[in-house]
Amino acid sequence: MGVQQNEISLDHDSLARLKRLYLQSVPAGSIAFDGLVPVGQVDWGFQDHLYNTILSKDATAYQPADSYTRRFLKFLIACLERNLAEDEELHDSILTLYSNLMSKPDSPSEATKPTFITYLVPSGEHPSQGNAGEKRDRGSQGEDKQVVISERKSVLSANGHTGSRTWEAALALGEFFLYTPLPVSKPIPQCRILELGAGTAFTSILLSKLGAKYVLATDGDEGVCDTIWKNINLNGHQNNISASQLLWGAFQEDSSIYTESWDLIVGGDITYDTRDLSDLVFTLQRLIMANRGRGAKAIISATVRNESTLREFDRGLSAAGLNFKVQKVDESDRRIWYYESNTPIQIYIIG
């Protein structure tokens, strides 16, 4: 009996991992399928559970693109065939789904068409939430939270901005908030949070689902702000999250955002352009100084593409009188979501 329960637990954990990879549309060739199925013991019951919890239309409200699912199934079916138990065969529903997708032609515009990417957030206790965290946004049976984002596969949108996809530094920032105690005296449910350069607003939506008191996702591009609202609504619009345009620096220094109270200022991958760094530092300084009495901090994740760019950011922070410390994101910190590259990422804690 103990062995059977252990096998069930392993199957559940493996399928939960496979579902997380599938809904994030991780390149199928990068998924270690053989490590996620019972080696040589795949039976009808396992496949039935796999289909119903991952592949069926009832498994999630926002399915990945058909072209992705087709490629995912190609690799998955090959893996299942290699590991079928004796006298077992492939599940009809899985084969039928694959056959139907094979008969559907790809649209020429699919490469630039938005697709739904779902980031599953494992349930459990998260240090940044305090005692109240797990009482918020949990299903009746404690299922995982999820952040649904409409993204484009191409790096740049047709308008040339970078807010059409969720960057790896944003994922690292999300994991920081899940597994690291906050550098402020309040847990997330007591924090008013402002995101700069929000892009897809992945971080803002995640923080709202972690129970933040209030989150404002801002970006300098009006079109990106429109997309942020769409992503907020995809996740079931809550009263604790909103979106607004905010230009850094003196361009919008009379914005009412500067007169509001903030406990955390956050940003993911917003330090890549040297032309924007002085305005970013101006904005960080003004926000942190205005909220010093609240013990406000800024938490910024940065992908290390060019070390000289970050050295310039460091100098700007020091010149503005802002104390900061930097912590590297180790491989062990990338525990939930898939990262396309091993490019170094670091987290700035400022203020």
Residue 73 lies in a domain: yes
Among 102, 130, 165, the domain-final residue is: 102
The total number of structural domains in the chain stands at 2
Across 197-215, average pLDDT: 97
Among 68, 102, 136, the domain-final residue is: 102
Residue 108 lies in a domain: no
Contacts for 295 with CB less than 8 Å, ≥ 6 apart: 184, 185, 263
Is the domain of 79 the same as that of 216? no
Residue 169 lies in a domain: yes
Residue 109 lies in a domain: no
Query: Looking at the chain, which runs of residues are DSSP E strands?
Result: 115-121, 145-151, 192-195, 214-219, 241-245, 264-268, 297-303, 324-328, 345-350
Q: Is the dihedral of CA 178, 324, 242, 152 positive or negative?
A: negative
Query: Among 128-132, 135-139, 210-214, 289-293, where is mean pLDDT lowest?
Result: 135-139
Distance CA 17, CA 19 (A): 5
Distance CA 244, CA 90 (A): 50
Range of the domain at 22: 2-102
Is the domain of 270 the same as that of 151? yes
Is the domain of 246 the same as that of 329? yes
Is the domain of 160 the same as that of 94? no
Per-residue pLDDT tens over the stretch 51-79: 999 999 999 999 999 999 999 999 999 99
Mean model confidence pLDDT for the chain: 89
Pairing of strands 345-350, 324-328: antiparallel
Across 274-300, average pLDDT: 97
Across 32-59, average pLDDT: 95
CA 12 to chain centre: 22
Is the domain of 275 the same as that of 176? yes
Distance CA 129, CA 135 (A): 10
CATH code, 305: 3.40.50.150
Residue 340 lies in a domain: yes
pLDDT at 107: 72
pLDDT at 300: 99
pLDDT at 158 over 60: no
Report percent pLDDT > 70 for the chain: 87
Is the domain of 120 the same as that of 97? no
pLDDT at 128 over 90: no
pLDDT at 252: 87
Distance CA 234, CA 147 (A): 9
Across 95-112, average pLDDT: 84
Residue 84 lies in a domain: yes
Is the domain of 84 the same as that of 125? no
Is the domain of 262 the same as that of 120? yes
Is the domain of 269 the same as that of 134? yes
pLDDT at 154 over 90: no
Query: Among 20-29, 194-203, 234-243, where is mean pLDDT lowest?
Result: 234-243
pLDDT bucket at 211, cuts 50 / 70 / 90: very high
pLDDT bucket at 7, cuts 50 / 70 / 90: very low
Among 44, 78, 102, the domain-final residue is: 102
Residue 107 lies in a domain: no
Across 126-137, average pLDDT: 56
Is the domain of 169 the same as that of 316? yes
Residue 193 has phi, psi (to 5 degrees) of -125, 135
Is the domain of 74 the same as that of 162? no
How many C-beta neighbours within 10 Å does residue 123 have?
15
Report percent pLDDT > 90 for the chain: 78
pLDDT at 3: 33
Is the domain of 196 the same as that of 95? no
Which tokens is 201 given?
């607003």
Across 205-226, average pLDDT: 97
Residue 147 lies in a domain: yes
The DSSP string of 268-312 is ES----HHHHHHHHHHHHHHHHHTGGGT-EEEEEEE-S-HHHHHH
The sheet carrying 241-245 orders its strands as: 241-245, 214-219, 192-195, 264-268, 297-303, 345-350, 324-328
Distance CA 142, CA 145 (A): 9
